[in-house]
Structure formats: structure tokens, C-alpha cells
Amino acid sequence: MTHRTPKEINAMNTPVPTPRHRKGALAAFATAAVFALSGCAAYQLPPEPARYTLETQTNGVKTVWQYTSAQVTKDVAPEQQPCTGEVIGTNHEPCRPEPLIFLRYDLDLALDKTAKAGDTHEITITGYYQQSLTALPKVTTLKAEASFDGGKTWHSAATRAQGRNTFSTKIEHPRRDRAADGVALRINASDSEGNTVKQTLPTAYKLR
């Protein structure tokens, strides 16, 4: 899933037409093989460092990344995750994984994928990146919010660091009848290089 993203937009949300040429594919949860089947797009981007926004929505889960990218002068993608252009044989220019923060959730649910209503429930969230031959940033902050009414209102959840890129979050569950739509989660995280991610799960789990 190494890529130079096809939907990279600057702070004004406008594609930048310059001689800079990068190949790529986006999608938060796909593999290079999927991109090879679906194709990829080429965009003209400036060689200078710039701030970009990338948005995806998969099965109702919305993710918005903001990150800084610049011209690539040498490959920093490991052999296990080659550049998309290399995989599909359309581009052999240097590339690297963009510094996108991905989120992994341990929701600690019962076998029926529910959590107990009217109780404090702890989940674990880990940030991670695509593999790179260069040093990766560190996720420094994470803010968690929960909603019990389908995203109409949000409640902050206590969060603390548990190790590198890992955070625990305690969610105060209401009674089951007050969370008919289950529990929605909204996570905001940032790293040591100023890259951010905001991810919204409309129904992370149900209460019992």
C-alpha cells in the first residue's frame, strides 16, 4: 500500500499543476494488489514541501488525513511493500510511503461483539504507519470521543498513553436504551512531525 496518493489536495483543496509527477493509489484499508486491479491515477504536484489533505470513506468509516509531502529523490519503500507503479509496471520513479497515521482498535468486546451498558469500558487504540526504510514519526497525542445517539452529540473520553503509539481510552456507557444505535467513536491523533488523522466510526459496537 505504498503510494504517492492520487487524491492529494493542497490547503486550498485545489490540485496543483506543476512538472512534479507522482504515481499512486489511496484507500485506507486496501492492498497494492487491489490497486493493481482498480488502477491508479497520476497527479502533478510541486517538488517543495506542502500540506495535503486526503479523505476516504469505507463502509461508513470516514478518515481524514493531513500530512506534509515533498518530492521524492530515492526509494524508501521496503521490498515487501513496493511502490504501486512498480507493482503494476507503469512507473519506476522513486517513491515512499506517505506519512499517514493508521489506527488499529482493540475494542475488548464479548463474543457477541457487544460491551456492557451502564459501565466503564476500556479500549486500546494504536497508531501505525506503512513500512519505510527511514525512521517513522511517533504518535504523540490521541483524543477520543464517543456518541450514543448516532453522532448527534459527542462526549470526550479519558485517554492515556500506554507505550509507543498506543493509547487506552475509558468510555462511560449509558443504559442500553439510551444507546439504541450503539457506540460511535471519533478519534483525532497527531504525530511528532505534525501529521494528523481524524477517523469516525459510526457504529463501533453495540451495548448489551
pLDDT of residue 18: 30
User: Strand ranges (DSSP E) for the chain?
Assistant: 21-24, 41-44, 50-58, 61-69, 102-106, 114-115, 120-128, 139-147, 155-163, 166-172, 183-191, 196-207
Structure-model confidence comparison of residues 85 and 14, the more confident one: 85
pLDDT digits 0-9 by tens, 48-103: 888 999 999 999 999 999 999 887 777 766 666 666 666 666 666 777 778 899 99
**Which residue in 114, 122, 126, 100 sits closest to 203, CA to CA?**
114
Among the residue ranges 14-18, 47-51, 169-173, the one predicted with the least confidence is 14-18
- pLDDT band for position 43 (50/70/90)? low
pLDDT digits 0-9 by tens, 110-149: 999 999 999 999 999 999 998 875 789 999 999 999 999 9
Structure-model confidence comparison of residues 43 and 15, the more confident one: 43
